[in-house]
C-alpha cells in the first residue's frame, strides 16, 4: 500500500496531529514499503536523504508519536532491534497483524498475509467467551535461500 503526501497529511489531521515534514516523510516511507521492517536508524537514513537537516532524535520522537496513535506498529522480531512498519489501521483490512517468518540462519524477515487463526479464535470465543482482539505470530525456520535441500525434502514428504 502506498500513501501519497496528501493522504499522509489527511491521516495526521484526522488523528489531531500537526502536519510536519518529518511526520509526513516517516509515515510515507513506512507506507511505501509495507513489507519492510525498518529500524529507527534505517528510517532516519531514508528521511535524511530527503530532509538533510533532520536529526536522529527528531526521527525517534516522530516514530514514538506515530506508534502511540497506532499509525505505525512497533515490532520485536528477536534480533535486538525495535522495528517499525505501517500501522494496521492504515493497511490491514482484517484488523490483525500479518505474521512474520524469521530465518534463523540469515535473519531475513518475511511477512505472511494469510490469517490462519480465524478458526482458532472462533473456538476460543465459543468455549471460553474470550474475544481475541489481535494476535502476533512469529515463525522461525529457514528461508528459501538458506533451507535449500531441507525445504525440497519437506515439500516432497
* Matching residue, cell 498475509: 113
Q: How many domains does the chain have?
A: 2
Q: Do 86 and 9 fall into the same domain? A: yes
Q: Do 20 and 52 fall into the same domain? A: yes
For the segment 96-116, the average pLDDT, to the nearest whole number, is 81
10: CATH: 1.10.10.10
Query: Model confidence at 107, in pLDDT bands (50, 70, 90)?
Result: confident
The whole-model pTM stands at 0.72
Q: Specify the higher pLDDT residue, 11 or 26.
A: 26
154: CATH: 3.30.1490.190
User: Grid coordinates standing for 37?
Assistant: 521492517
Give the pLDDT of residue 17: 84
Q: Do 136 and 120 fall into the same domain? A: yes
* Matching residue, cell 509526513: 24
For the segment 40-49, the average pLDDT, to the nearest whole number, is 95
Q: Do 43 and 24 fall into the same domain? A: yes
Q: Do 66 and 110 fall into the same domain? A: no
User: Grid coordinates standing for 156?
Assistant: 516432497
Domain that holds residue 143: 93-157
Give the pLDDT of residue 58: 94
Mean pLDDT taken over the chain? 84
Question: Residue 88 burial (CB < 10 Å; 0-12/13-18/19+)?
Answer: middle
Q: Do 13 and 58 fall into the same domain? A: yes
Give the pLDDT of residue 88: 66
**Cα–Cα distance for residue pair 57/61, rounded to 1 Å:** 6
Q: Do 14 and 58 fall into the same domain? A: yes
Q: Do 12 and 32 fall into the same domain? A: yes
Q: Is 57 helix (H, G, I), strand (E, B) or coil?
A: helix
Amino acid at each position: 500500500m502506498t500513501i501519497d503526501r496528501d493522504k499522509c497529511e489527511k491521516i495526521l489531521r484526522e488523528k489531531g496531529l500537526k502536519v510536519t515534514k518529518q511526520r509526513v516523510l516517516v509515515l510515507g516511507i513506512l507506507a511505501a514499503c509495507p513489507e519492510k521492517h525498518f529500524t529507527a536508524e534505517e528510517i532516519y537514513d531514508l528521511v535524511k536523504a530527503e530532509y538533510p537537516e533532520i536529526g536522529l532524535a527528531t526521527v525517534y520522537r516522530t516514530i514514538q508519536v506515530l506508534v502511540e496513535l497506532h499509525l505505525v506498529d512497533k515490532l520485536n522480531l528477536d534480533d535486538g532491534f525495535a522495528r517499525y512498519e505501517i500501522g494496521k489501521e492504515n493497511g490491514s483490512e482484517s484488523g490483525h497483524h500479518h505474521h512474520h517468518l524469521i530465518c534463523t540462519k540469515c535473519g531475513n524477515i518475511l511477512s505472511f498475509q494469510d490469517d490462519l487463526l480465524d478458526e482458532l479464535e472462533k473456538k476460543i470465543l465459543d468455549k471460553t467467551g474470550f474475544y481475541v482482539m489481535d494476535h502476533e505470530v512469529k515463525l522461525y525456520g529457514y528461508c528459501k535461500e538458506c533451507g535449500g535441500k531441507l525445504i525440497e525434502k519437506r515439500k516432497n514428504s
